[in-house]
Amino acid sequence: MKTFPMFLTMAGRRVVIAGGGEQAAQKCRLILKTQAKITLLATELDPELADLHSQGRIHWDASPITAAHFADTALVFIATGCPGIDAALHAVAKAAGATVNVVDRPDLCDAITPSIVDRDPVVVAIGTEGTAPVLARQIKTRMEELLEPRLGDLAALAGRLRDRAAQRLQPRKRRDLWRWVFNGPVRDIHARSAERDAAQMIKDAIQTGTFGDAGPSPVALVGAGPGAKDLITLRGVQRLQEADIIFYDRLVDPEILELARRDAERVYVGKAPGAHSLPQDKISGLLVAAARQGKRVVRLKCGDPGIFARGAEEADALKAADIPYEIVPGVTAASAASAAMGGFLTERGTCDTLILTTGRSEDEQSSADWVNLLQEGRRVAVYMGVGTADQIESTLSQAGLANRIDVDIVGNAQLPTQKIASCKLGALSQTLQDNAIENPAILFLSHKKTASHLVSVQRGA
């Protein structure tokens, strides 16, 4: 970020706007939404600004402008409409130590005015660092549609009841209360203009300490997707934002963790090949211990928690401890890798069976099992297969399939470091070496149907 988003406290502080025309009026309308004290510096005011002055809502100073006019200000807007005068006044204001915004001159701005969605006290500010104001307005339109008009009133109601909640409820219980308020029936009722009913529901919940599901929160086994943060599901993001503690894997993109609550505890439990920092039973024990402390727990796993992620072992440990859990599926690496190649995991008439396996297995006989399944019309996706590429190549060659298997390789699928390569089976090891592809990677081994099969399928279609 070249600019840092921040909300400034404006109550009782001075904002100076240099200019008396439409540009100055636009900034004046914006700042009038706050509790700042506005001073207009101009020799003349347009009718709108003159009317505001006559109402006593702004102060007008028509004297010659000096650095003293800009001293002790929260913010200064330069909006005369003349580029030369704007640049000169910018220099004067900076000499006074002011934070300055010059209209339509991002190169002269210390602060850039965002597009604003106003549901006071809920305010959403959207900025593009001055590069694409049209895009900012488009995003603003989407947010206006997303946030109900009376949401700010509900937030204000919650603010009035926060002290009462703090007196009666422990911190974890308070978080659960407000999650229930903003994510359930209270918000729906309030949106239908039934503020009194909504307020009573919140007061009753604070008084009794019961609301929504009174049971313990389930541990969430969340799939983070294959890497890129925009491939995690909306439900996964929601669980991250609710979590008190997050146990995450080695391959989880750090940007995904930025989607979590800022004060959520983050615990790294990643395992690298040959260097397991924590044994699996220890990780399972940590999940159980955190859940027993009443924390909202997220176990964040790369890909999907149900595919080569040892999610079943953690679920079994939670079940044995009588701790509820939920599985939040994620985009698995095979899906992401296939999409990265612009292809599909199955194709009617060509490949109608998909087998998922792993290059790392505790059962040395497992490779032979899927080799026997690699018949015409089938595709095998080998997770973390780079380390066993030589063995795969040798086993399939011995089975007489060396010239019949097409191989597609995707390393670091959907990440900026992604690599894609294709070859025949006999060139697998050399192709990996030539393209410097290492794990994490997916190997697709495809035994496509022959032309005779395709003819019969088409006739039967």
By annotation, the residues acting in catalysis are 249, 271
Q: Which two tokens stand for residue 351?
A: 């490949």
Classify residue 2 as exposed, middle or buried by CB count within 10 Å of its CB (0-12, 13-18, 19+): exposed
Q: Which residues of 284-311 are buried (b: 16+ CB within 10 A; e: fewer)?
A: bebbbebbeeebbbbbbbbbbbbbbbeb
From CA 216, how far away is CA 23, in angstroms rounded?
A: 55
Closest CA to 16 of 97, 82, 123, 105: 97
* Residue whose pair of structure tokens reads 């920092």 in the numeric block: 277
Sign of the torsion angle spanned by Cα atoms 69, 71, 74, 76: positive
440: preceding bond cis by omega (within 30 degrees)? yes
Among 446, 435, 441, 454, smallest CA distance to 404 is for: 446
